[in-house]
């Protein structure tokens, strides 16, 4: 079991006196505490440190921790340019990059971003899959690419990533189509289902799609994105989570719980809930800490670190 943490790169997670340069120290602290990965979120509309800039800064500042996106929105960037940037980060980090991707969602997380990126909203999933195929091709040395949407007759030599074939690419999402696409072509799955039973059901579908595509189940990393708040009791944790949900999403905790994995309570209660996802098959947890300033983020980071040994060897159940 790998336990990673999402860095608080958005201004909604900073206090008035916080310095965003502290995020480098935060990443080092997480590595020292035993976290196995540092992930960053991606957006264009909400104010935050740009995802790939953050990872490039973390690459030389950390030693062995994995660096990842949760999730990168490829449509915000030119596909060939993104391939070059990702290969560079993988190279600078010594092969520690993992790229989880998504196509965006309707509402303020979807159509407006496509409009600002000067891309059509239609066929966004096909565009995403083809972008990933392009990345893999140029990382392997391709000098041209002929897809259905993306076509490049001539691609000059590019930076090659640290690892042959480039960094692993995971897919976020839990719709039937996303599960099938994960099984067919992605290296990992990073959803956030509200219940462990939903995770187990989705993972079964991913593995069936992999088998249908003649891939091994072990080729796909089953990961989980989950919002975590450890407190003295469930009541105080719930109040803090509600404040976080309203500040981050503009919605109450009650509503957020229906669409995302959210865990709160004492350290023992949080460990018990996360263990349910581990029993359902999750093998890499990416925890988003529910706190609204960097001091509280560091406090949650230390509290969750005490849970890591408990989850290190989960009881395995076939999901």
pLDDT 10s digit of each residue in the chain, 319 long? 999 999 999 999 999 999 999 999 999 999 999 999 999 999 876 789 999 999 999 999 999 999 999 999 998 899 999 999 999 999 999 999 999 999 987 665 677 788 888 888 899 999 999 999 999 999 999 999 999 999 999 999 999 999 999 999 999 999 999 999 999 999 999 999 999 999 999 999 999 999 999 999 999 999 999 999 999 988 999 999 999 999 988 899 999 999 999 999 999 999 999 999 999 999 999 999 999 999 999 999 999 999 999 886 544 444 4
Structure tokens at 171: 């897919």
At 116 the pLDDT is 83
Structure tokens at 292: 């609204």
User: Nearest Cα to 290, choosing from 256, 259, 255?
Assistant: 256
CA-to-CA separations, 171 to 69, 151, 188, 224, 284, in angstroms, rounded: 11, 23, 6, 11, 14
Q: What angle do CA 169, 143, 150 make, to 5 degrees?
A: 60
CA-to-CA separations, 202 to 126, 182, 225, in angstroms, rounded: 21, 10, 14
Burial class, 157, CB count within 10 angstroms (exposed 0-12 / middle 13-18 / buried 19+)? exposed
Where helices occur in the chain by DSSP H, the ranges are: 22-32, 51-61, 79-92, 111-116, 124-139, 176-185, 196-212, 234-249, 253-256, 267-279, 294-305, 308-311
At 44 the pLDDT is 75
68 touches 28 (CB < 8 A): no
At 317 the pLDDT is 41
Tally DSSP H helices, then E strands, for the chain: 12, 11
At 319 the pLDDT is 40
pTM for the whole structure: 0.94
At 124 the pLDDT is 92
Determine the Cα–Cα distance for residues 285 and 8; give it in Å rounded to an integer.
Answer: 16
Q: What are phi and psi of 101, to 5 degrees?
A: -125, 160
Residues in the chain: 319
**Tell me, what DSSP letter sits at residue 187?**
S
Structure tokens at 59: 């690459």
Question: Domains plus CATH for the chain?
Answer: 2-311 (3.20.20.30)
């Amino acid at each position: 079991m790998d336990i990673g943490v999402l860095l608080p790169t958005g201004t909604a997670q900073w206090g008035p006196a916080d310095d965003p340069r502290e995020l480098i120290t935060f990443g080092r602290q997480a590595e020292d505490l035993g976290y196995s990965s540092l992930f960053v979120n991606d957006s264009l509309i909400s104010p935050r440190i740009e995802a790939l800039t953050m990872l490039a800064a973390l690459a030389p500042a950390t030693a062995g921790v994995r660096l990842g996106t949760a999730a990168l929105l490829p449509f915000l960037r030119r596909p060939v340019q993104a391939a070059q940037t990702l290969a560079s980060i993988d190279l600078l980090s010594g092969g520690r990059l993992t790229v989880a991707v998504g196509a965006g969602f309707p509402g303020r997380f979807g159509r407006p971003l496509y409009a600002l990126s000067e891309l059509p909203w239609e066929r966004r999933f096909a565009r995403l899959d083809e972008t990933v195929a392009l990345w893999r091709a140029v990382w392997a040395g391709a000098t041209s690419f002929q897809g259905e949407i993306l076509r490049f007759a001539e691609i000059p030599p590019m930076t090659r990533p640290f690892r042959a074939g480039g960094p692993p690419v995971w897919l976020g999402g839990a719709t039937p189509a996303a599960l099938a696409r994960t099984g067919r072509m992605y290296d990992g799955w990073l959803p956030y289902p509200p219940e462990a039973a939903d995770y187990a059901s989705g993972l079964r579908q991913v593995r069936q799609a992999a088998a249908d595509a003649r891939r091994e189940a072990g080729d796909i990393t089953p990961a989980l994105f989950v919002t975590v708040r450890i407190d003295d009791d469930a009541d105080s944790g719930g109040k803090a989570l509600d404040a976080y949900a309203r500040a981050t999403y503009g919605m109450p905790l009650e509503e957020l719980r229906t669409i995302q994995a959210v865990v709160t309570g004492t350290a023992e209660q949080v460990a018990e809930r996360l263990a349910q996802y581990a029993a359902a098959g999750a093998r890499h947890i990416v925890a988003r800490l529910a706190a609204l300033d960097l001091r509280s983020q560091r406090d949650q980071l230390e509290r969750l670190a005490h849970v890591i040994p408990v989850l290190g060897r989960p009881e395995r159940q076939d999901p």
